[in-house]
Chains A and B, each alone.
Chain A
């Protein structure tokens, strides 16, 4: 029995232990000892979590209320105008543009990764030695270090060294590289990001498909359902929750996209591929505006938390995941 189960059981439902004890007005000694024991077990993990995640976040929040600039250490504890960064970001057009670029990039890459992941998972969901080998080979982009993926695509997109552009030249086609074309630069990032991460969604969906009970499909086949009908009416409804979880993971991860943009476009041309975390990077490490970039980070963090909460609610059907 897990701590969560025990905790849920402890809630004051009519038949719960707590409910019975609450009626009696006391908790027996054993129940108190058990709760204390659980907290004792959780304490080291909570302490580590607090140090590793909460303290830096708290520091980030505090710093966001200062104009901290590394070139001027005196600004570290300057709280004379604590909301200056938050006022500035309201009128920062480049930040607003980066949020819009981020939204486009996240939406398109997540949808494409789900579609490709689903399609290939359905095709590979056959247990044969060939399919097993193919399944493994499809995972290669995901396990490569992100910087290596970025370099592979940089080579592919660079006309003077790209095998693709060598072929275009042989064919007499004059094609401009997408990474320096304002209309196509973001698409170039989308393609590379989708290539890198669709194996992740594919893997999750394949795992779900492996757990899928065969009875419904067999019954439908007996009733004369076509392959399309089997997929649409049985497989996809079964995968709905899996797709939502995979989408949530990818959505959160897509907001962290960095190496592809750093290597391929440097946020350009101009700012057409500059996403929010890249903008934060520039403000922090090119200009040393730690205070301002902390404020932008806090806003981004809040947006991710809200978005995650909304999606978790949607996945769990509004049940808060505890039923």
Chain B
């Protein structure tokens, strides 16, 4: 918890610097323009000129998410202001990622704005498929003085810089991993508090599993998202030193210990068939009160308190991800709007991104419409936000901010944004399934994952 206190006053720039990402370059290019504009030297032309993009049709690609529905509701105001017409092309998450991967690789111009999916950020940005924002940010004619890029919490932005410290995206959504007990009453009845360590988590699961017909724990099958925080909690890593050294270290003693621990949760304390659970299935189990504890991003846990389908609104409790022997490393991700390198309407695209990720827009989407997974600090610290996220007496906003800051400050999510992450992530999925389904012990399975990961990463031309 100390770490959250020390980091709480840091800006995105400051905290990302401590993660070795950038400092002077960004301060120079990102803040100079806005400072000039703030001093009244020049009004931002983009926003000053009404209907500057008259006749322009902007095409935006993203995966389906409630935030885009909110944005679409607000679009008339933006279209009226700029004169441009905005069209969204929304697809299911896996379909979007595969299609956009192909689209970007051909430098296509079908889309002017696209979502940069967190786990693809390293791949899409390092391949030069996205447009850097630095020129936009340093130009007061193109960037409004009050845009304030430093308002984005560091953990939401670190993935969108390349090795030249160029920024390629602004987050529209942030995910911070925490733990929720849908039936805290079962723990409470036995005088058990929310677990704060992985050792305690096992004890809680042992004591509460199948009490009142409720499974103690539930996860979904995206082990490449769920497992790494456990791995790091036991002192392990996915890669030796990402992004510089991409040698996987999935067969280290720490990784084997973490895999044993995690697979034990799946095998012994989850509902039957959990290995096939999608994220929605896992959430439905919690909403119905059939499964108790789950560790996932806040967006997947808030419905327990907010959804009309929830049968556990009164019994839900939240906590930070339990710490392992080597610390707590809750996962954090963010999805950002970016401009494909092939876009032929980059100025219009930047105008849209600036508007969609402005403080004013987030005030509407987060505080009025309910999209609480927001990346801007000023919104998270707004009293209205805090009120919305005070659930059963708990301040969830503080936990959310803590996780976003922690991952940005410590930089431990770097493993997930390297270009060869999909190859390693898939091996983690397979390895965990082999262990939890009893096909192999943890040591054998993780050694196999290590060998397969090396082979697949080599195919990408990476020298290991």
A residues engaging B (CB < 8 A)? 67, 69-73, 75, 88, 92, 94, 154, 157-160, 176-177, 179-182, 264-266, 268-272, 282, 285-289, 292
Contacts and interface: CB of A to CB of B under 8 A. Distances in A.
B460 A182 contact: no
B108 to A, nearest CB: 12
B307 to A, nearest CB: 17
Given A270-B439, A288-B101, A72 B127 contact: yes
A269 B433 contact: yes
Interface residues of B, number: 37
B106 to A, nearest CB: 9
B56 interface: no
B452 A94 contact: yes
12 contacts: A88-B459, A160-B273, A180-B273, A180-B276, A182-B437, A269-B433, A270-B434, A270-B445, A286-B426, A288-B101, A289-B459, A292-B459
Contacts of B433: 268-270
A206 B276 CA distance: 38
B391 interface: no
A154 B455 CA distance: 32
A139 to B, nearest CB: 29
A108 B450 CA distance: 33
B235 interface: no
If over half of A's interface residues share one DSSP class (helix, strand or loop), that class is named, otherwise mixed; here it is: loop
Nearest to A284: B98
Contacts of A71: 105, 123, 127, 419, 460
A286 B434 contact: no
A88 B127 CA distance: 25
Given A154-B276, A160-B284, A268-B430, 10 more contacts: A70-B101, A70-B105, A158-B273, A160-B281, A176-B272, A179-B273, A268-B275, A271-B430, A286-B423, A289-B459
Contact of A265 (B276, B439, B452): B276
Nearest to A292: B459
A269 B102 contact: no
B378 to A, nearest CB: 36
Nearest to B422: A286
A72 B274 CA distance: 37
Contacts of A270: 430, 433-434, 437, 439-440, 445
Most B CB within 10 A of own CB, among A70, A180, A181, A271: A180
Nearest to A268: B433
Nearest to A285: B98
A13 to B, nearest CB: 54
A177 B452 contact: no
Interface in B407-464: 419, 422-423, 426, 429-430, 433-434, 436-440, 445, 452, 455-456, 459-461
Contacts of B101: 70, 285, 288
